[in-house]
Amino acid sequence: MKLLLISTLCLTSYFVSAAPRTLSDTSDQFHRRSSSPTSNIVSRSDRYDQLSPQNSPFFPDLQIPEDVITSYAGVDRHTTLTLSRQTLDLSKYPEPWSKPDIYHPEVQAAIQAIDWDLVPDASVRPVNALGDIDFDSYDENEDADCWWSASNCKTPKVNYLPPDIYTCPRKGDWGLTFDDGPFNLRDSDEEDAEDENPYAEPILYDFLKKNHVKSNLFYIGSNVVTYPAAAKRALNDGHYICVHTWSHPPMTTQTNEEAVAELYWTLRAIKEATGVTPKCWRPPQGDVDDRIRAIAWQMGMRTVLWDKDTQDWALPAPGGGDLPPSEVNLKFSQWIDEAKYEQTSHGTIVLQHELNSATVRMAQKWLPQIKKVFHVVPALACNGITQPYWESGFEYPSLY
């Protein structure tokens, strides 16, 4: 079965449905002449009356999975509880968690499909000796590049990009999101396997299903290729799947070509594992500026951030930090109290993770209490988006 390719669209709204297609539709690869991806390209004074074009990336022939559920209509489906450990064909992908090769022919094709005249000329951000982003040379007050990490900017400085999605406009909505999945099982001889595997997928997905809750899941490509059955299970449960890069780097530290590679391989992995091509992505650590937004947008994706951070990613567990659980518990408790006493004027999008045992346990602890106070929905759904993929055959309920 061949990949669907949506041809370039000049968009006048932030999300649109492509022309009616099915999973089996095909088309020729889209080509365009483009400037060098490393050239100086967009003046700050250039303004556009409409959003810049998007196109769903072209992939080579992929074997799309069968028995994929495409219509949810708010009904919980019976989905497989035992998941296969079979990987995708790893020889066709970069080494998991490695920096992808920008000279790979598929990446080069994706680079050539971008109109680099519509990618702002923001600098590649430097890192310091500790590997952290160096902010010293950036003027945060001017914030010429709408760099979220420096200024929390969410509305691009160029008119041809849409604002980031970062909150739920309707009071009482809790936009549920989990980053870094799918949470892979470890081999039995791996360090921490005994402690972590009881919380690997499908444990969180089973819990969400039991609680009749859907979420936005922001997937790391390296985790998808090694555990595609978990991604397919999530899709069949009715969760919204989005991109979270291949190896989780701060994206403003990547060159244009490196950014394309990070996004391309994740899109490809999700397509092969589930049959869908997401219209949404979330930058690791929220690190995004107008240069990276423009690249992601032309590759078919709008940027999704958050307005509440649980900081569960810093809990003491593999891949985490040393933040006491009491501090995360306090955040949840305060947010619930604010809602109870109507101290908010809109809903919220909350950053959580399916990263390790600690993050899953925290979700299990607090979600039942959150449901008593909030209307829990996927982050895109609370923003009125019910078509999160370029494939038009996937129907999500308009109301949750």
* Residues with active-site annotation: 179, 353
Residue 391 carries which side chain, given as an amino acid letter? E
Query: Do residues 160 and 48 make contact, with C-beta atoms less than 8 angstroms apart?
Result: yes
Task: Please tell me the distance from the alpha carbon of residue 67 to that of residue 83, in angstroms, as a whole number.
Answer: 14
Residue 116 main-chain phi, psi, to 5 deg: -70, -10
Tracing tokens 């495409």 back to the chain, one arrives at 70
Query: Do residues 345 and 167 make contact, with C-beta atoms less than 8 angstroms apart?
Result: no
Nearest of 218, 268, 278 to residue 58 by alpha carbon: 268
Contacts from 309-314 at CB under 8 Å and sequence distance 24+? 309/350, 309/351, 310/350, 310/351, 310/352, 310/362, 312/352, 312/353, 312/355, 312/358, 312/359, 312/362, 312/363, 313/179, 313/180, 313/351, 313/353, 313/355, 313/359
Query: Do residues 126 and 134 make contact, with C-beta atoms less than 8 angstroms apart?
Result: yes
Nearest of 249, 181, 188 to residue 218 by alpha carbon: 181
Query: Do residues 150 and 135 make contact, with C-beta atoms less than 8 angstroms apart?
Result: yes
Nearest of 339, 342, 351, 233 to residue 284 by alpha carbon: 351
Angle of helix 357-373 relative to helix 203-210, nearest 10 degrees? 10
Cβ neighbour number for residue 80 with a 10 Å cutoff: 12
Residue 206 carries which side chain, given as an amino acid letter? D
Task: Please tell me the distance from the alpha carbon of residue 100 to that of residue 210, in angstroms, as a whole number.
Answer: 38
Task: Please tell me the distance from the alpha carbon of residue 199 to that of residue 312, in angstroms, as a whole number.
Answer: 15
CA atoms within 13 A on the CB side of 321: 9
Nearest of 339, 311, 336 to residue 326 by alpha carbon: 311
